[in-house]
Amino acid sequence: MKLTGAEIFVKGLADLGVDVIFGYPGGSVINIYDELFKNTKVRHLLPRHEQGAVHMADGFARASGKVGVCLVTSGPGATNTVTGLATAYMDSIPIVVFSGQVPTPLIGNDAFQEADIVGITRPCTKHNFLVKDTADLARVMKEAFYIASTGRPGPVLVDMPKDVLMASAEYAMPKEVKLRGYNPNYEGHPKQVESAMRLLEEREKPVLYVGGGVILSNAAAELTEFARLLGIPVTTTLMGMGAFPGTDPLCMGMLGMHGTYAANMAISHSDIILAVGARFDDRVTGKIAAFAPHAKIVHIDIDPTSIQKNVRVDIPIVGDVKDVLKKMLKLAKAPKVAAACKKRVAPWRDEIARWEATHPMRYKQGKGKINPKFVVEKIYELTKGKAVIATEVGQHQMFAAQFYKYDKPRTFLSSGGLGTMGFGLPAAIGAQVALPGALVIDIAGDGSIQMNIQELATAMQYRLPVKVVILNNGALGMVRQWQELFFDAKYSQTCLPQIPDFVKLAEAYGAAGFRATKPEEVEGVLRKGFATPGPVMIDIQTDPNELVYPMVPAGAALTDMLLV
């Protein structure tokens, strides 16, 4: 039976197991919207901006582990997805964005709402397609989902000209995908794994450096068992938070520019680093020449291009981290291996404990202005660490990373690689769609939240009970911090004197709004906000002079931390 391209698209989504998409209609995809109107299997959520739609699909994917899906029209609808695609690309998040395109004969003719979205997105997608024949559409959809979710995950774009959606063809969804030249290697080489374990058995100061790849491969359980079995201290990247329990005594917290003193000192004095699903980002390494000067480095990653990219690696292991950790666990469980390692590493753990005691993460909350770190700790206390936390980007993002303990994967959603302001609210909406029963909180800054604040209307329309906590310091806080520390406190264009009344703004959207201006009001306002049904915006006016510490200045070594 022949179907139109639009019918193939909707049936294809259902056959691929997609039950929800985030999309914005337009002329090039109007035929699809006509089919969506009639279908009963695929739920469609309407954001207020295409960038919001992509971040929602991204948040849905991060929270659920499934592929997030987004649908937009041609031209500006498609170009509005670029920031979301780049965000997902940097953090290896599996999403598929379907864009409408002008009819095939008009491509290249500067037609109305035409943009070369395939060319534009080539550098920020794992792969992209331009579908030229209706008969190819189902196959391309299958391939797009396969590419997005296999190997190192990432975003895929499928561009669909309007005439392809209107023409008819036989529906033919392939049962499996085989792509020439695309064969991700999931199995770590046993010899390399054995070499890594032999090296580990020779060393006294090991560190597990854990990235988002552990979460993406669902390997948190294996990682936790391995670390505890051998007694190896763990530090995580921003993307790796939740891959290892933040409350575990072995957890040193985040490392890098705003990492803990103990984690940065441990990396700098370690004699072996086991890097698991992490990519040695410059915010982690600081000055490359001074990074881990005494350590041999074992790097486990499914993407071979990530290995040796930024730092020298002594033992590369290409493969899925879950597979590699299982193999390492098997070797670690051999007689006496784990016990010997624990005994050998004990003095090292004591040394790290002394660093933790010397410079713990701390702050003072007096009777004056509200300290944003106090707010984050209060959120942790009230939610008992069981909320899903999304963030925007800035100081509040670092406070959320430093003062909330994440014990489970997929509970901390943040734009790590690209650092996208405006990510948090739509990502929280996507997460709330994926996890309807969860308490989802967007910890935001007053600058970032205004980037995509219109998505509060989306939360209201679908009664998604997202709670937004704004740490309102009247500034673009992180840039202001850099200006204060490195530009003689010349606050060029980082103060925001014209800030909306967020309580009234929330009410204008139909949501509830609350405000705290004094420390003694914080707990009550948070309790009230979290207990209020539906979307809530909580404006907490915080001290603009509170900075993020520790801080490693750009280009400095991890040991050159600025401390409180």
Catalytic amino acids?
50, 112-113, 162, 478
Give the other-Cβ count within 10 Å of 63's Cβ: 24
- What the block records as the tokens of 158 is 């499928």
Sheet holding 68-72, edge to edge: 43-45, 20-23, 68-72, 95-101, 156-161, 127-130
Give the other-Cβ count within 10 Å of 198's Cβ: 11
Burial bucket for residue 138 (CB in 10 Å: 0-12, 13-18, 19+): buried
CA dihedral 517, 521, 524, 526 (to 10 degrees): 40
Burial bucket for residue 421 (CB in 10 Å: 0-12, 13-18, 19+): buried
- What the block records as the tokens of 556 is 């400095």
Chain centroid, CA 344 distance in Å:
36
The DSSP letter of residue 523 is H
Which residue type is seen at 487? F
- What the block records as the tokens of 134 is 């209706």
- What the block records as the tokens of 313 is 């690696």
Beta bridge partners of 207: 273
**What burial letters (b/e) apply to 237-265, b meaning 16+ CB within 10 Å?**
bbbbbbbbbbeeebbbbbbbbbbbbbbbb
Which residue type is seen at 300? I
Which residue type is seen at 347? P
Provide the 3-class DSSP secondary structure of residue 387: coil
